[in-house]
Amino acid sequence: MKRAEQNEPKRPTREELESARSKRVPDIIAEGLAVLFCGINPGLYSGATGHHFARPGNRFWKTLERARFTPRLLSPWEERELLDYGVGITNLVARTTATADELSAQELRRGRAILERKLRRYQPRVLAVLGVTAYRVAFGEPHAELGMQPEPRAGVTVWVLPNPSGLNAHYQLDALGRMFAELRSSGELSRRSRTGRSPRR
């Protein structure tokens, strides 16, 4: 039996999903990472299981493999292995909701301030925000587009990428893989991070 299957928690019940509201999922973070991926906020499935991008149908883990940030397909239950590849995960807003639409603009802006403190503390080479609409609100950049942003935040290069949620029908898995691969092959990530970590090629 594979390790991911051994560690995989049981599927949450409807009651467990509802009770997960406002729970928090711990960051996967360390100093000097090559890239820190930043989701909008955890969904109920992630809140119930305690793992990032855990809901079946979320394409984050498949996208990382396609873009070669990881050498194989990891499961959400193996998320801490990302640190071995110079990759981390955080969120703009820590509290769990059923959908990101439940977050207010004030929460997103407050989350940006918290995120910038993390950037100053951990100094990843690149911050990759997953969701252009949330980025526009949180960072006060109403005309921001996908891709590398013109200005760094807290001294860190910023990219905006599509949200890999299965609810995002605008981007299929192939397109997500190509866009994430553009980040991986960018000049910022072609050099080693401060701790010597870099995405594996």
DSSP result, 132-171: HHHHHHHTT-TT--SEE-SS-BTTBEEEEE----TT-TTS
Confidence tier at 2 by pLDDT (50, 70, 90): very low
The CATH number of the domain holding residue 129 is: 3.40.470.10
CA gap 188, 92 in Å, rounded: 22
Task: Lowest mean pLDDT of 63-72, 94-103, 152-161, 177-186, name the range.
Answer: 94-103
> How many domains are contained in the chain?
1
CA gap 100, 79 in Å, rounded: 22
Q: Is residue 201 part of a domain?
A: no
Question: Does 72 score more than 60 pLDDT?
Answer: yes
Q: Is residue 199 part of a domain?
A: no
CA gap 34, 96 in Å, rounded: 26
Q: Is residue 99 part of a domain?
A: yes
Q: Quick check: helix, strand or coil at residue 198?
A: coil
Write out the residue range of the structural domain in which residue 95 sits.
Answer: 3-190
Q: Is residue 171 part of a domain?
A: yes
Q: What is the pLDDT of residues 135-158, one digit of tens each?
A: 999 999 999 999 999 999 999 999
Q: Is residue 197 part of a domain?
A: no
Q: Is residue 9 part of a domain?
A: yes
Q: Is residue 196 part of a domain?
A: no
Q: What angle do CA 183, 161, 26 make, to 5 degrees?
A: 95
For 120, the token pair is 């100053």
Are the C-beta atoms of residues 35 and 189 closer than 8 Å to each other? Answer: yes
Q: Is residue 198 part of a domain?
A: no
